Amino acid sequence: MRRLKQFGMMLALIFLAACGTTRAEIAPTFEQAAEEAKQSTVNFYMWGGDDGINRYIDEYVAPRLKETYDVELNRVPMDTAEFVRQLSLDKRANREEGTIDLMWINGDNFRNAAEADLLHGDLLDKIPNTKLLNEDAQATDAGTPTNGLEVAWGNVQFVMHYDADKVKDPPTTFDELHRWTEENPGRFTYPEVTDFTGNAFVRHLLYAEYGAAAGDGEIPDDFWEKLATWSPSLWKQGTTYPKSLAQLDQLYAAGDVWMTMGFNERRAEAERENGVFPSGTRALVLEHSIASTHFLAVPFNATNPNGALVVINELLSPEAQLAKQDATYWGDGTSLDLTKLDAVDREAFLKLDDGVTYPDPERLAERSIPDYGPAVIDAIREEWDRVAQ
């Protein structure tokens, strides 16, 4: 009986410990937030699958934060969907003291988080460096309005890469790409549409056919019929598709397919230099390219929201953004508006823009299109199975 009581007590304790009492408050001004954040630790949850990105955080950002603000940055690698799910469980259990202070997020995960009310709002007013942001990039996240729930961290565009040693006469439009696949059967494919990149590729095709008009999520049957005509000349005759962009990159690296694709116009540079991608890798910009932004957000139950604001401000500083865009670590495009920077900083950014695999920045900028909203992304996910069958 005594044991049973002990057991019950333990359960009750665990339960109490799980239900945090009060939510941490954000300081009214940034100066106060920086003061509060001194000597604290910020738990930064982010996808950890890229070595360059991890090194950028650990070797560049963390030491600077320690020095400037006396804030410890603890990078926690985890799949984004995973920690958003964890947060939504926190929400349901009324857990007001969470483990995440800052997170890297965009797309579906943001939409989930915003809909479930998992994020701190009004971030923009509280962080001085948000004044420098590119307003277009900040406004929407894959078509969902951001409403100050997240802050743009990087901005990239969709670019394809091909092996110039094998592809002598690269296509210039999506129609030509279709013809090219028919002339070179088995040498092209795209990731499944459950993948972020694969879905974006299909959106590009949709845009090539219907332009912005298809934004309501009603995709005509004709489009699917036309897409199905790609299948016979794709890799494995279109009976299967790479599960992820990583798998497509592997196929490309192995020479099985001759083109790959992805958000971030600088993504192939380091891979090519390391000998993963063929040395003939070059950028291919077709008639339009979707711009995509990724963001930083603070969960509703962050225990150190002030520290998180300090980290966001630091990540948005021109120096940190410049180091991020440099191919040394990551090569990720800046979310800042270059016209808002002073001349020296602007020059430094413009100087970065030469790499063998980089597309012509002006051409890329002029073909940039805004993304369709979530309705189209969902519709593609639901209906694309017809093509895969």
Partner 1 sequence: MSRSSLWLSLFVLALPFTGVAFLIYETVGFDWSELNDAAWRASLAVTLYVTLVSTVLSLVIGTWLARSVYRRQSTWLASLLRWPMFVPHVAAAYLFYVLFSGGFPFYGLVEANERHHLVVILTYVWKEVPFVFLMVIGTYAQLNQGYVDMAKTLQLTPFEQFKVAEWPFLVKPLLDSFWVLVAFISFAYEVPALLGVTFPELLGVLAYERLTTGLFLNAYESYAVALIWTLFIFIGVIGSYSMTAKRRRRIERGVRR
Interface residues with partner 1 (CB under 8 A) are 3, 79, 81, 85, 88, 108, 111-112, 115-116, 192, 194, 236, 239-241, 243, 254, 378, 381, 385, 388-389
When the beta carbons of 107 and 305 are compared against partner 1, the nearer one is 107
In angstroms, what is the minimal distance from the CB of 234 to partner 1?
A: 11
Collect all residues with Cβ–Cβ distance below 8 Å to 65 and sequence separation of at least 6.
42, 71, 72, 73, 310, 311, 314
Tracing tokens 């937030």 back to the chain, one arrives at: 33
In angstroms, what is the minimal distance from the CB of 112 to partner 1?
A: 6
When the beta carbons of 274 and 389 are compared against partner 1, the nearer one is 389
| Helix and strand totals (H; E) in the chain | 19, 10
In angstroms, what is the minimal distance from the CB of 378 to partner 1?
A: 6
When the beta carbons of 19 and 388 are compared against partner 1, the nearer one is 388
Contact 132, 342 (CB under 8 A): no
DSSP 211: G
In angstroms, what is the minimal distance from the CB of 190 to partner 1?
A: 11
Question: What is d(CA 271, CA 264) in angstroms, rounded to the nearest whole number?
Answer: 13
Question: What is d(CA 342, CA 339) in angstroms, rounded to the nearest whole number?
Answer: 8
When the beta carbons of 337 and 378 are compared against partner 1, the nearer one is 378
Distances (CA, A) of 130 to 155, 269, 340: 14, 29, 11
Question: What sections of the chain are H helices per DSSP?
Answer: 2-18, 30-37, 51-55, 62-69, 80-92, 107-115, 123-126, 135-139, 174-183, 196-210, 221-228, 245-253, 267-273, 305-315, 318-325, 343-351, 361-366, 374-383, 385-388
In angstroms, what is the minimal distance from the CB of 106 to partner 1?
A: 14
Interior angle at CA 254, CA 251 and CA 260, nearest 5: 45
In angstroms, what is the minimal distance from the CB of 57 to partner 1?
A: 24
When the beta carbons of 24 and 87 are compared against partner 1, the nearer one is 87
When the beta carbons of 52 and 186 are compared against partner 1, the nearer one is 186
Q: Label residue 54 exposed, middle or buried (CB < 10 Å: 0-12, 13-18, 19+).
A: middle
Bridge-based pairing state of the strands 102-105 and 41-46: parallel
Question: What is d(CA 340, CA 316) in angstroms, rounded to the nearest whole number?
Answer: 13
When the beta carbons of 340 and 381 are compared against partner 1, the nearer one is 381
In angstroms, what is the minimal distance from the CB of 196 to partner 1?
A: 9
Collect all residues with Cβ–Cβ distance below 8 Å to 115 and sequence separation of at least 6.
none
Question: What is d(CA 81, CA 137) in angstroms, rounded to the nearest whole number?
Answer: 22
Contact 292, 226 (CB under 8 A): no
In angstroms, what is the minimal distance from the CB of 24 to partner 1?
A: 25
When the beta carbons of 231 and 317 are compared against partner 1, the nearer one is 231
Contact 157, 387 (CB under 8 A): no
When the beta carbons of 88 and 99 are compared against partner 1, the nearer one is 88
Angle between helices 30-37 and 305-315 (to 10 degrees): 110
When the beta carbons of 131 and 236 are compared against partner 1, the nearer one is 236
In angstroms, what is the minimal distance from the CB of 385 to partner 1?
A: 6
In angstroms, what is the minimal distance from the CB of 130 to partner 1?
A: 28
